[in-house]
Amino acid sequence: MDTTTAQNSAKKGDFAKTVLMPGDPHRSKFIAENFVENAALVNDVRGIQGYTGTYKGKPISVMAHGMGCPSIGIYAYELFNIYDVDHIIRIGSAGAISPDLKVRDIVMAIGACTSSNFFNAQYPDLAGSYAPTPSYRLLETAVNVSRELGKEAIVGNVFTSDHFYDASKSALKWGQLGCLAVEMEIAALYFSAHQAGKEALGICTIADHVLNGEELEPWERERTFTDMMEIAIETAIKL
């Protein structure tokens, strides 16, 4: 077989030790074209574009992860366990469920509450509820970088949901418990990192507000989240 995995045509060694992961393949392409020097396409299976190049002289990769826990779970597992990646930073979009947030705010996830069965299915006999958390080193580095760049970032809990269209509106209840935003991948990413003994961090830009209905256009989500992108890539070169 020419490919390393069924989902990834990259060869071992094609990825840098740190990978930035947006959900949207178009955002992956945008980052590669606007931030990464000499970016080479190393994966395009299923349109999940992955690139490797350099930033300020240091190797860096960026690859999309698709939507939902199962999707990011596949790619994070392969990057950590097959491609020897040490750090993954998710740079995604999220919906605000806190009245204190506004569209375009940047949120760094200190933890991820979730209704997903992603890890329960693998540990059905585990007593208690698993609380996925990031690498503190990555979180602290990203916070310091955001301050150095003069870009505000809010650190707090997020809610990872398996449902984009949630008739029960359960995200609103998680907002009442202090979660800042709802998204669909961070809990699975943190679980995958802990399982592999690697490091992960989730950073999101608020693309819509669940409480007031404000939302950005798809092209804005793809091309205008440059503050978050800069924080993530500047964090990556410090690792």
> Does residue 29 sit within a domain?
yes
Give yes or no: 84 in active site. no
* pLDDT category of residue 168 using cuts at 50, 70 and 90: low
Phi then psi dihedrals of residue 223, to 5 deg: -120, -10
> Does residue 13 sit within a domain?
no
What is the count of structural domains for the chain? 1
**Predicted local distance difference test score (pLDDT) of residue 127:** 73
What are 219's two structure tokens? 């092209």
Task: Considering the candidates 86, 166, 208, 227, report the single residue annotated as catalytic.
Answer: 208
Residue 49's closest CA among 13, 75, 84, 17? 75
Read off the pLDDT of each residue in 44-53 and give the average, rounded to a whole number. 95
> Does residue 143 sit within a domain?
yes
> Does residue 64 sit within a domain?
yes
> Does residue 232 sit within a domain?
yes
Which CA distances in Å does 72 have to 38, 118, 123, 197? Answer: 26, 11, 18, 17
**Predicted local distance difference test score (pLDDT) of residue 121:** 82
Full domain range(s) for residue 147: 18-236
Query: How many C-beta atoms lie closer than 10 Å to residue 177's C-beta?
Result: 10
pLDDT digits (tens, 9 = 90+) for 21-32: 999 999 999 999
Residue 35's closest CA among 239, 238, 223? 223
What percent of the chain shows pLDDT beyond 70?
98
**Predicted local distance difference test score (pLDDT) of residue 167:** 63
* pLDDT category of residue 1 using cuts at 50, 70 and 90: very low
Q: Any idea which of 53-67, 106-120, 167-181 has the lowest mean pLDDT?
A: 167-181
**Predicted local distance difference test score (pLDDT) of residue 164:** 85
pTM, to two decimals: 0.95
Q: Is the pLDDT of residue 175 over 60?
A: yes
Average pLDDT across the chain, whole number: 94
Read off the pLDDT of each residue in 34-40 and give the average, rounded to a whole number. 97
pLDDT digits (tens, 9 = 90+) for 96-155: 999 999 999 999 999 999 989 888 888 888 877 889 999 999 999 999 999 999 999 999
> Does residue 145 sit within a domain?
yes
Domain of 86, CATH number, reads 3.40.50.1580
What is the Cα–Cα distance from 51 to 36, expressed in whole angstroms? 9
Q: Is the pLDDT of residue 37 over 70?
A: yes
> Does residue 101 sit within a domain?
yes
